[in-house]
Amino acid sequence: MRDVAELKCAIMDKNHRRRTINTSTPKQVLPDRVVLSEAEMSAMPILDMRPARQGLGGLMTQMRRDRVRLRKASWAFTTRRVPQGAACCILPPKGRPRAGDLVIARIDAIGHHKVLQLVNGRRRHLFPGDKIVVAYGNRYASNQFESEVPETMGPCHLVAGGGIASRALSWHVRITKGPTAITPIGLLGNADGSRINLRDFALDPVEPPRDFRPTPIAVVGTSMDAGKTQTCVYLVRGLIAGGLRIGYAKITGTGAGGDYWWMYDAGADPVLDFTDVGMPSTYLLNPEEVESTMVSLVNHVAHVGVDAMVLEVADGILQRETRALLSGFVFPRVVGGIVLAAGDSMGATAGFHWLRRQTTPLLALSGLITAAPLQVLEAREATGLPVFDRSELGTASVAMELISRAQNNLKHRPSPIIGID
């Protein structure tokens, strides 16, 4: 798909150049490339993105100017599945944007987000006037922003360091500077002049493997910043120490590179998240879309040949999409057990009572609570569950015991991995 898109761009660009040639002077020799003065060359910023696959020599048509602007812009983590060569033009800032649409925007004022996570993992410092390529999306983050895709292409906000353009509705009181302000320049267009959306480059749906079904274990939390990702990291380390090949998938949340690269560093392979199936975020998706996202990611991880997988569900169990997913029909048929990351003993106890009303068994507690020995004692007495800190999760004995219990739970349920309808 990537090669075809880039070839179509090249053909369209070539035809556009031909139409600009003055046919009254057939012997006219056109320059191979635009020659810039030393002053113009020195004024060009250093590129920090992937090199374009197509050369930029020839007449500077509008399309080629657009491609130069896109090449000079910083492409955010959320765009990582979109080859830069697939973007042939910048569409006028008209109409209503949709979640997943790619947009080139200008930084107007620096607020909470001072850096942008790039495709290659680098954190680029932002300055007013910088041009960035991000994706429109919604966001729900109780310790940061609530935002929605705006109804127009007017000024809006950068609400996530991974690259989400949105209209901030509210934010945590600790965010004193408010959101970073941006102005969209235009949507990215393909060779046909159509909008480019993350869904265009999503992984194709696959059926689950029939010969072997790796066991998924999920990590959920009482809230944002309860220690879910760290719990996942050390659980991955412990399972690897037990001799297993482990995959990881983040089922819900907002596109960001921090968790993604941390899992790679921990040794998970493959590492996927909802952006791989075309979602810049999962906020405001309907329950069926969230379940479909989970099934697709689980099936893709399973096809790589892992022995088990760790799934992370973002935010807290009372968040809209998380609550619907955990209490739905699909989740207990896919996941063998849950580790709950909690910030304190009261949250752990409340989470325990809510989760025990669901079908998927709660196996253990972990998270930030493990920093306070007295709270660990309170939670253990209130729930009767084991509480593991990160060093314990990183041991083969603890991790293998958890995955063994999850595997036994799935043996008694039909269709552990559900196929694509």
**Of 201, 236, 270, which closes a domain?**
201
Q: What is the pLDDT of residue 31?
A: 47
Residue-level pLDDT at 28: 47
With CA atoms as reference, report the closest residue to 370 among 353, 347, 354.
Answer: 347
Tell me the mean pLDDT in the region 110-118.
Answer: 98
- Mean local confidence (pLDDT), 100-115: 98
Residue 287 has pLDDT above 50, yes or no: yes
Residues 8 and 134 in one domain: yes
**Are residue 282 and residue 366 in the same domain, yes or no?**
yes
Q: Which of 177, 201, 225 is a domain's end point? A: 201
User: What pTM value is reported for the model?
Assistant: 0.86
> For residue 51, is it within any domain?
no
Q: Are both 187 and 132 inside the same structural domain?
A: yes
Indicate whether 49 pLDDT > 90.
no
Structural domain including 119 reads: 2-14+57-201
Percent of the chain with pLDDT over 70: 84
Q: What are residue 146's DSSP bridge partners?
A: 140, 170
**191 and 281 assigned to the same domain:** no
Instruction: Determine the Cα–Cα distance for residues 171 and 168; give it in Å rounded to an integer.
Output: 8
Residue 310 lies inside a defined structural domain of this protein: yes
Whether 193 and 226 share a structural domain: no
Does a structural domain hold residue 96? yes
Domain-embedded: residue 33:
no
The answer on 299 and 191 residing in a single domain is: no
Same domain, yes or no, for 156 and 265? no
Check whether residue 232 and residue 381 sit in a common domain. yes
Tens of pLDDT, residues 197-246: 999 999 999 999 988 899 999 999 999 999 999 999 999 999 999 999 99
Q: Are residues 244 and 363 in the same domain?
A: yes
Q: Which one, of 266, 243, 220, 226, lies nearest residue 399 by Cα? A: 243
C-alpha to C-alpha distance for 142 and 93, rounded to whole angstroms:
31
Backbone torsion region of residue 100, taken as left when φ is above 0, otherwise alpha when ψ lies between -120 and 50, otherwise beta:
left
User: How confident is the model over 329-378, as pLDDT tens digits?
Assistant: 999 999 999 999 999 999 999 999 999 999 999 999 999 999 999 999 99
Which domain-ending residue is among 173, 201, 229?
A: 201
Asked whether residue 376 falls in the same domain as residue 350, the answer is yes
Q: What is the mean pLDDT of residues 311-321?
A: 97
Residue 418 lies in a domain: no
Quick check: is 385 in a domain?
Answer: yes
Does 180 lie in the same domain as 224?
no
Q: How far apart are CA 336 and CA 408, in angstroms?
A: 8
Q: Is 129 among the domain residues?
A: yes
Domain count within the chain = 2
**Domain CATH for 354:** 3.40.50.300
Looking at the structure, do residues 228 and 284 belong to the same domain, yes or no?
A: yes
CA distance 213 to 200: 29
**Helix, strand or coil for residue 410?**
helix
208 belongs to a structural domain: no
Alpha-carbon distance 421 to 418, whole Å? 9
